[in-house]
């Protein structure tokens, strides 16, 4: 359908060498977009790009650390000299678990830089070019922890709450320039980041009982929301966080 067609669009997905980022990049490519993969590890990024090119998709790569504001700006500005970035998915993130009373300050700072600062750095760098063109789509990856908390991940919960409000702020400041800024909040998905939890039989049993859908999510199930928010279909959607979580935030 034309409403969901991304042909001719270019999408930058941060942290896209594996996991959710890679799945979203592949999904947007299937909808017609040219993909710009990003990661710090050049080798892993090249492998991911090779896979997608082997499937017939147009793929570029940008190696930069999303927590380095100067590196972000240089990479984005350099790429924009060749081709405009029409869609940005701020996916890069990390998790660090531990009791809040013992949580190390350095670990807290690193988590915030990776999960929050990066969305600001990349969002601003790309957003400036989008503003100049009067159009663009920014999708920040939030989390079920944007709305809920669990023991041992208070700083992560704080970072994902910040992402939802940063998204609202982006929409409030930039909608008048033609940008649509929204967020996707995944529930519990079977990804490398959650490998320890997936392997924990007790946790998986708890999750299946707690989630109305009764299972872990599959990363491919996030693609539809990403295509929707990247396309004409969401032309009047702004500042929203869409939960893709099997119903976990809807149920006690």
Which CATH number do you get for residue 107? 3.40.50.720
Q: Which two tokens stand for residue 168?
A: 């609202």
Residue 252 resides in a domain: no
User: What is the Cα–Cα distance from 141 to 161, expressed in whole angstroms?
Assistant: 11
Helices and strands, counts by H and E, the chain:
9, 7
**Residue-number span of the structural domain to which 20 is assigned:** 2-243
Q: Kindly state the tokens that stand for 235.
A: 């032309």
Residue 91 lies in a domain: yes
In a domain, 27, yes or no: yes
Distance CA(225)–CA(243), nearest Å, equals 9
Q: pTM higher than 0.75 for the full model?
A: yes
In a domain, 217, yes or no: yes
* Domains contained in the chain, number: 1
Structure token pair of residue 60: 């570029």
| 33 Cβ contact partners less than 8 Å away, ≥ 6 residues apart | 6, 7, 9, 10, 11, 86, 87, 230
Structure tokens at 162: 């910040």
**Annotation says 188 is catalytic:** no
- Has residue 17 been placed in a domain? yes
In a domain, 191, yes or no: yes
Distance CA 42, CA 194 (A): 23
* Residue tagged active-site, from 79, 121, 156, 188: 156
Residue 175: partners with Cβ closer than 8 Å, 6 or more residues away: 181, 238, 239
- pLDDT string in tens for the chain (252-residue length): 799 999 999 999 999 999 999 999 999 999 999 999 999 999 999 999 999 999 999 999 999 999 999 999 999 999 999 999 999 999 999 999 999 999 999 999 999 999 999 999 999 999 999 999 999 999 999 999 999 999 999 999 999 999 999 999 999 999 999 999 999 999 999 988 788 889 999 999 999 999 999 999 999 999 999 999 999 999 999 999 999 999 999 998
40 falls within a domain: yes
Q: How many CA atoms lie within 13 A of 8 on its CB side?
A: 5
How far apart CA 192 and CA 55 sit, in angstroms, is 22
CA distance 223 to 17: 16
Is residue 13 situated within a structural domain? Answer: yes
């Amino acid at each position: 359908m034309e409403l969901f067609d991304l042909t001719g669009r270019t999408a930058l997905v941060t942290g896209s060498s594996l996991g959710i980022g890679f799945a979203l990049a592949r999904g947007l490519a299937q909808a017609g977009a040219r993909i710009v993969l990003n990661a710090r590890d050049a080798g892993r990024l090249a492998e991911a790009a090779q896979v997608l090119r082997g499937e017939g998709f147009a793929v570029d790569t940008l190696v930069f650390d999303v927590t380095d504001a100067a590196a972000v700006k240089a990479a984005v500005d350099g790429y924009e000299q060749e081709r405009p970035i029409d869609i940005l998915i701020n996916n890069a993130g990390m998790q660090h678990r531990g009791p809040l009373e013992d949580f190390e300050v350095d670990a807290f700072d690193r988590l915030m830089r990776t999960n929050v600062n990066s969305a600001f750095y990349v969002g601003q760098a790309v957003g400036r070019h989008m503003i100049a063109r009067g159009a663009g789509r920014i999708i920040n990856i939030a989390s079920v922890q944007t709305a809920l908390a669990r023991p041992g991940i208070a700083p992560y919960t704080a970072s994902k709450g910040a992402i939802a409000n940063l998204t609202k702020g982006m929409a409030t400041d930039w909608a008048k320039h033609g940008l649509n800024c929204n967020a996707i909040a995944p529930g519990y998905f079977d990804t490398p980041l959650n490998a320890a939890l997936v392997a924990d039989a007790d946790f998986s049993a708890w999750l299946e009982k707690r989630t109305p859908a009764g299972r872990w999510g599959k990363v491919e199930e996030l693609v539809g929301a990403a295509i929707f928010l990247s396309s004409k279909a969401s032309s009047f959607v702004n500042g929203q966080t869409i939960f893709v979580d099997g119903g976990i935030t809807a149920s006690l």
